[in-house]
Structure 1
Amino acid sequence: MHRVMIVEDEPIVRYGIRSMIDWDKIGLRLAGEAANGREALALIGTEPPDILITDIKMPVMDGIELIAEVRKTAPDMKIIILSNLEDFQYAKEAIKHGVSEYLIKSDMMPRDFEQALLSVKDKLYASSRGAEASDPQAERLHKERLLAELADGAACDPAECDERAARAGLAPIRSAYVLLISVHSAGQGFEERQAAVRDAIGRTWTPDDGDHEAFVDKQGDVCVLCDAGKHAAGAGLERVKRRAEALIGLLRDECGMKAAIGIGGRIGAWAELKASYAQAAEAAKQKMFLGSGRVIVHGADDKRVPAEHAEPIRIGTSQIQSMVYAFQSAELAAYLDTLFDRLSVRRDPDLAHIITFELLMILTTLWPDVANDDRQVTELKRQYYDQLSRLETVEESRAWFKQSFEALVRHIAGLYNSDRNSIVKATQYIRQYYDREISLQFISGLVHLSKNYFANLFKKEVGESFLEYLTRIRIDNAKELLRQEMRTGDVGSLVGIPDPKYFSKVFKKITGLSPSEYRALHRDASNDIGP
């Protein structure tokens, strides 16, 4: 398994890199971390990694210096550099030293990062080919690699595909199906899972079932190309399905592994392998909605609503935050149920991943606002990532998010009574010092609450937002000053709104009258009363 080292001076970024990738699944192992280039060089001298992920700007020794030093002793090491957009000039310097991938931190999504790692892994794979000629397993490895390349679409010309297959010792295809075995087993490592699946395949397919070839795709999933023989399409597919069902049972009963198997469309030529593999992969993804322990046939079991025929599904971030701060557990649970119901109908795995990621971001953004212990919040985030990575279906995700948001609501509700006094203090301060510049950031800091939490708690307790309350207090005092015949321009400054035009605008919005109209109305009312 190829070794990876992360070099990044910000601990939270290192944590994010560790957490966003299922390293075992893609066949990589984290071999070390460093906070700067000098620390990295010391580690590299002890145990050189195959892939180096490094930031550019770091203290002590930056990424440019590190790469230059690494190239002196390890010219073939694969390097991925991370940078901010404004540091692109530095990145261009790093590129001169032969980096493999360049990623912008602010744009980096888990899928993009995983694809970069898989691309670098492929380069390592390719560079090792020359050493395989003397390996007794070279022929088998060559077949597997060719199948993986054809599945990935490396060669699409039918004649070229047939020629490459013949050179690898593969017979022409008459009728075959591609199966993708998607295993959900968080307790086993990448290599252990692959070995168990390969062993189970060898025990499931017998000589009577026709030829079969196993190979591993770029994502690390084991696939099987099954010869359907001379049987008619329906009969051939049924034979393949029975073998697939037997394989699922064997993995479950003897290996303790949950698996779903996607089956692509029937093919009759090597050039069709790419399309059938893609169909098998899409079918296997439907286990998110159908669950493991079943065979999913493309076009029969994996029917999903086309995106062009479905309404967009979007997360109401502000709506969720409002329900959390208002302790609306029942309403929030109903909102999540509706959201996951729509995902279940849509049956789009990629969209489901995006939605669950956005929900996780909302959770991890809200907790720091209501927790005083940063280490506790960091540990909670780690637990969230770990727990979510173990979930397999949208129904499991639905239950997990409902439980996690409920725990957050209970936590905030527990804080509510003790923090109500802070709101009283804030309103007292505003009433006394309304003529000063008072921002939300300042007043929340004054009472030692986070800005977002304070804003929501203030509105819940007072019945209006902080800004609405501050503005109302200022205008109430402005009315009093206008009744004392003070000039309009002076009144605005005295109540904390020094801009005369803005003061007049705000005053009229709240009272329905301009300051001069209000003063005139008050004067007329006083004259009508008389002595």
Structure 2
Amino acid sequence: MELIRVMFVDDEIMALRHMKSLVDWPSLGFEIVAEAITAHQALDLVNTENPDLIFMDIRMPVMDGLEVSKRILAQNRNRTIYLLTSHRDFNYAKEALRIGIKGYLLKHEMNAHYLEEELLEIMKRLKEEKKKEQLMIRQSLKELIGKSPLTSQFPRELEAELFGRGSILLLYIQADKAFPVLENRIDPPGLPLPKWEEIDFYGELSSLTYIETIEIAKDKQVVFVFLSGNAGEDNTWRQAHHLASVYQQRAKRGQSTLSVLISRPCKRPVDISEQFLQLDKSSEFLVKRGREQIVAPGSFALEAFDVEAEWGVLHQMIRESPAEGELNSLRLRIDAAFTHLERERFHPTLLKWMCYTFTRQLEQLRAVKGMPSYPELFTKREINDQLWYSVADIKQWFVQQTEAIASYSDPMMNYSSKVRKMIHYIHLNFGEDLSAETIGREQSLSGDHVRHLFKEEVGRTIMDYVIGYRMEKAKSLLRQADYKIYEIARLVGYRSSQYFCNVFKKWTGLTPQEYKESVADNR
């Protein structure tokens, strides 16, 4: 626990030494950081040592304790001051309460037991006040970065407390996640971001003091730290960078990665609102760089331009619908579009629209070759999205997709046209009642002929193929977690859910419920 910083103000050196020696201050939660024997010395030390608690002798030459306290409290109403007095003077007590002094200790009753009892009571009050103050700070900071940040009102007493001796830095922390290259892609729930109390600091953060963390989404949070007024620009960046890197190391221990954007020093509440809006906007552009970034203030030049007009330029380059054999043309368009995006005006919305256009064109070529669609592959977890974190890697992924199409050999091309039509019919009608007779009816083939021809060319019975295809579809639906088991049974052609469960268990070795749970456990 952080010790409460204590300052003594007393012109009687022996009295001061006596009070210091009566108790073990650190064991009670206090740290003596300053001692003043004159009023002017006290006023100087308050600003340099920033004590939480001041014990002030009431009678001093030149300027008495009440006057010194008035001046200190005029600068910061949140200072906690207790007077040291030899008499129960109620007029003094009345004036002390009026100016904001919290209480007084009687010098002539000072002994170890009395002082310890008083310190424990003071500690209790300070904790309660600190808790209230922290709640007020949290609420005020939330409003500064809320829906209408620039119109938020910040309490004056907090403004003096937080900005009187320095400024505030914002660390905008965002979990790295793959860019949505595919339309209608649902991101899996991310791992929780590290909390301040989980962070292990390696190195000194002499200029930075933690204030608060505000969660703005499940995968985003803003950490506020106080920056002392005497910190230079280089030292500020070095310590902020160190703090950001420690957060990244902690995230890696939890099997995740994150990026951190650092604000400029904020000297007024409105600066916090402005810096937050800039960081929030900049976070959308992290895909330009990739994952695990630490971004210095002003690193992204956010040029304002007409995104839809710029899309018109890009769309002219990529809008052609490729036909079979036009892979080379598609590769050239992918290269030209990404080069244009990287060199000219970048915007994440342009990248998203471009990805959707190219994936639709690739889907057309995949369909011609009989390749499974991207949604099917994604549901089966057969798409590697590790290349979806930066523009350069996304471009590489699209190039790989064109190469995969070029090298693909459809096993169905080895079958006769009659068998291919049978397979196509099964894929379209797997949810209906199927038999060799219904499958052959479209080609005017008898059930016996269908069974013989299919077994001869494919090497398995046609009904075995039907069951296998239905079970694959059932597994796909079970992975989506949106359907009940009896609904899946009907969707894949079984009127009895019990019969479906028996077939599924025989085919996979697991019941549908066991399979569903195993998929959930591996997420």
TM beyond 0.5: no
Larger helix fraction of residues:
1
- TM-score range normalised by the length of the shorter chain: 0.3 to 0.5
Structure number with larger C-alpha Rg: 2
